[in-house]
Amino acid sequence: MEAVPIQSENFNLGFIGVGKMAESIARGVVQSGVLPPQRISTAIHSNPSRGTAFQSLGISVYSHNTDMHAEAGNGQYEMALGYTACTYAADNLIFMREVVRAIANKHGLLATFVPKYALDDIGSGSHVHLSL
């Protein structure tokens, strides 16, 4: 399947608390041309040396989550897709989900989008913000 660049200028991608999974997703998105690195950012506060891989791709690296919304559960990452027309938003959501799953699978990992995957951990809910 050929990667298709996302046309919406409102589509941005942000990673919080990054590890190998986030790095793989970011690298795949940039190298395939799906998004330019200028539209991707990451917040790395626990291990600043992790930012080197992202910076080498041209991705902005921040030391705090001030401009990004962090989820609280272990292993949770937020993908902020930005505002666009409903039909494009639905397409972008499905496309993002499938890209994340494919990259996780390539690395022997499982990406899930369930609201809460462990009874003893915080759930974030798979949610959408609507604006009229």
Q: Structure pTM?
A: 0.51
Reply yes or no on whether the pLDDT at 85 is more than 70: yes
In a domain, 67, yes or no: yes
Cβ proximity of 59 and 51 under 8 Å: no
In a domain, 125, yes or no: no
Sequence-ordered alpha helix ranges (H) in 1-132: 20-32, 51-56, 86-106
In a domain, 122, yes or no: no
Per residue in 30-73, pLDDT (tens digit) is 988 888 898 888 887 667 777 888 899 999 888 766 555 545 55
pLDDT for res 117: 66
Number of H helices, E strands in the chain: 3, 3
pLDDT for res 127: 58
Cβ proximity of 79 and 39 under 8 Å: no
Beta-bridge partner residues of 42: 15, 61
- Distance separating alpha carbons of residues 132 and 130, to the nearest angstrom: 7
In a domain, 83, yes or no: yes
Cβ proximity of 121 and 73 under 8 Å: yes
Reply yes or no on whether the pLDDT at 28 is more than 70: yes
Structural domain that includes position 97? 13-106
Closest by CA position to 130, among listed 79, 83, 70, 93: 83
In a domain, 89, yes or no: yes
In a domain, 50, yes or no: yes
How many structural domains are present in the chain? 1
In a domain, 126, yes or no: no
